[in-house]
Amino acid sequence: MSEEYVNKGYSSETIEFGKNPAILVVDLQLAFTDPSFPNGDMPMVDKATDNTAELLEIARKRNIPVASCYTAYDSLEDMPLWKVKAVRDEFYHGHPCTEMDSRIHDPDYDFNFCKNAPSMFFLTPLTTFLHKKGVDTVIVTGCVTSGCVRATVIDAFSHGYRVFVPEDCVGDVEDRPHNDNLRDISRRYGEVVSSSECIDYINNLD
């Protein structure tokens, strides 16, 4: 972080893990993880999917809540004015691109739902689910870092959750927006950590 931000007091507090975490999985659907789709050929997202799968395996064994989402629409009428061609062309209910990646999806365990905006929180049942589970800490994974991950982080922060982003469990099209947004998240909204730190935290919970 630059000296200018430090002098202004950014990142002056450290957020500690709470007692009741949940894992949030943002848009790890085939549209972003399968190279046969227009936006699916992203090596950083593929790596993030594998790392998220390892984190989720530990979390499920410890009975940590997992909420995952995908993005889909009925038609252009209920779709925001996306500037992303693949979203306008393919992100419709029933299209194969909306299916969750099998590496991270456990339909018998996860709370999985559809969202229609960047944030997992916007007009979805996520807040109700987290309240019912008594969650105070969210670990945000998925894609893309500069889009739906960042939007979800900001809403989680706004709802008062302790926010953690394992850097190796999120991905983007390019390194620069990925790194810029993680740096900005760490200045303002939460802690950027590693998946191994999250696994250690989960394994040491009472």
The average confidence (pLDDT) of the chain is 96
pLDDT at residue 206 in the model: 81
> pLDDT per residue over 121-156, tens digit each?
999 999 999 999 999 999 999 999 999 999 999 999
Query: Which domains does the chain carry?
Result: 19-203 (3.40.50.850)
DSSP 17: P
The angle, 0 to 180 degrees and rounded to 10, between the axes of the packed helices 195-203 and 43-61 is 0
* DSSP letter, residue 125: S
For residue range 85-126, what is the model confidence (pLDDT) as tens digits? 999 999 999 999 999 999 999 999 999 999 999 999 999 999
Instruction: Give the separation between CA 88 and CA 148, rounded to whole angstroms.
Output: 16
Q: How many CB atoms lie within 10 A of CB 132?
A: 11
Q: 11 pLDDT exceeds 70?
A: no
Q: SS3 of 147, please?
A: helix
For the chain, give percent helix, strand, coil, nearest 5: 40, 20, 40
